[in-house]
Each structure stands twice: as structure tokens, then as C-alpha cells.
Amino acid sequence: MEMRRLGTTNLTVSAICLGTMTWGRQNSEAEGHAQMDEALERGVTFWDTAEMYAIPPQADTYGATERIIGTWFRQHGGRDRIVLTSKVIGRSPAFPWVRDGKACLDRRNIVAALEASLQRLGTDYIDLYQIHWPDRSTNRFGVRDYQISDDAAATPLAETLVALDGLVRDGKIRHIGLSNETAWGTMSFLKLSEQMGLTRIATIQNAYSLLNRTFETAQAEISHYEQVGLLAYAPLAAGTLSGKYLDGAIPAGSRRAIDQRRSRYDTVNADAATAAYIDVARRHGLEPTQMALAFVHQQPFVTATIIGATSLAQLKSNIDAFDLTLSPEVLAAIETVHQRFPNPCP
């Protein structure tokens, strides 16, 4: 398994990160345990979760994924073999069941979220603790047009960073990261850490796939020069790049079948772009999903690619994709499609 350095830290992680957000909703505890067994057997020792999971989020599955990971640790031991990440949610009216609907990124909320995650996970530390999304109003989850708004209720970035730094000093988290963050937010955190002598941001977890390469516009340069590597989530665009949603299809048991929220990958040009990428893969004798994963893996600003699956067969196929090296011909064909359909699903 290829190992890569996590930002400027002394920690190395597997280039594949195991996504877990279906466990507790689409997947049972037993199925989650089987996926962890398979991942560890294949050398995938970097695992990602969040307090909010399982997805789609709802009150009765809040924290379920962390509990499933925790029962695996209690049964198997070996916590030291895994680089474990989790996340704390930012301000949002969509989660009234989290901390009495007052979740935000101040110290009280961060400490409460972390302590609950540690208890569910059955561990006394988390290797990488990430801000799931900013407190302030900004573009995320497919929003295209930035709207300036009053963010008087947003927790100041410095306050959030001080809280996280304190938890690093306490030994409860080892490193910190961002998620669903902008270029301005990333650079602001980096500047604050330097000015205030606080823990430096190691990573950023944002969406990145053939259907959404917006990270390249500004964030990739930051990742390169500031060594804040991308943990690429949704590399298959929530399953869209498999082709299973083409022409309006919604297979039983799929993410779109159980999630009533409109998918950020259900856009005007999504079908056309997906079909074009599938055609590229088939013309070159590749599985479409494996080509899509290999493309993300080969980007120089990517530290790890987060893969999720609802079956062991999918998980095995996804891991196999990282043995591929896409040829210049395939990359050129991908770029041709990208020029025709640039970022249809931001």
C-alpha cells in the first residue's frame, strides 16, 4: 500500500482512506465490521468518520457510524494500527438534534463533540480531527453563487483554532484539518496558526471527482505550496460515475433512493458528462469507476482518496483501482470531456 505524508506532520497515511458514512443506515454493524476487516487486510489503515454519520443524517442515526467503529475496536483491538479521523459539525439549522440545535465551532461545542466521539469510538485520542464545514455562510455542498450575508453569529476562526490547539496539547487529538472549506478559509487558518503559534492545519477534505474539479481553481495551489493535502471525498460523485443514475434511474437501496435531499450530482449536464467519461473508460478497456478513482489518486495535490462502498464487492473493486496508472492517452481523453463539460457538479 502506498503511504503518503499527512501535510507537514510526521504522520504517514495510506493513499486510500476508508469512508464509513453508510454504516448505520445503508449498512449494518456486521457489514461495517466486514468492510473494516477487508480494508485492514488490504493495507488501508486510514479511516474517516464524523459525529454526524450515518448519511443521510437524521436524529436516530446520529453517531451510529462512530459506534460501529468503536465496537470493531473493542472486538479486534489494534487501535494503534489505524489512523483515525473524525469531524465536528459547524453551525447549521439542519441539525436540531445536535447539542440542542446550537452546534457551532466554539470551544464548548468542540469539546463536547470530541468527548462524545471518543466515547462512541472507544478510544482516548483521534489522529486527525476536522471541521466538517465552516460556521460562516459560504459556498459548500454544490452552491455555485456566493452571497454575502451577515455572519455575526459565526464563531471567529481564531477562537476555533485556539480550541482545537488546546485539544492537541491535551493529547486528545494529534492533528487538525478542514473540510468543505474555501481558499480564503484555508489561508486564513494558516495565517492565524503562524501569527498565534497554534497548531497548523494539516489537510483539507473537499469533494473532488471527474464531475467536480473545482478544487483545482484555487485550492490545489494552496495544497501544493502550503503542504495542506487534499483528502478527496466523493471521488465517484456519490456513485454517479458508475452510471447507475443515468436517464433518471434510481436503483433500490441506492443513496438517492433513501435520501430525500436533492443530490448535488443531479444537475443539467451530469448525465452527459457521466456518459462521456464512461465511454472513455470502455474505449480503453477500463472499468468506469476504477478509471475515476485512478484519476483522483494520480493528482499531485491529493494525499488520500476516500472510498466508500455498500458491499464488499464494491470495496474490493475500489481498492483494486489504485493499482492502475492511467496512460497519457486516457488522461488526454478525460481532459477532452472536461473541456466539454467543465465541473457540471460543483
Which residues carry out catalysis? 53
List, in order, residues 6 or more apart from 123 with CB less than 8 Å away.
70, 73, 79, 84
Instruction: Give the integer Cα–Cα distance in Å for 322 and 318.
Output: 8
Quote the CA–CA distance of 148 and 253 in Å, as a whole number. Answer: 38
Euclidean distance between CA atoms 220 and 217, whole angstroms = 7
User: Cα(first)–Cα(last) distance of the chain, in Å?
Assistant: 30
Sort 275 into a burial class: Cβ within 10 Å, 0-12 / 13-18 / 19+. middle
Residue 216: strand, helix, or coil: helix
CB within 8 Å of 207: residues ≥ 6 apart = 180, 215, 232, 233, 234, 264
Please say whether the beta carbons of 132 and 86 come within 8 A. Answer: no
Q: What whole-number distance in Å separates Cα of residue 311 and Cα of residue 221?
A: 36
Residues sharing a CB contact under 8 Å with residue 84, sequence separation 6 or more, in sequence order: 47, 49, 69, 121, 123, 126, 127, 128
Q: Where are the beta strands (DSSP E) in 112-172?
A: 126-131
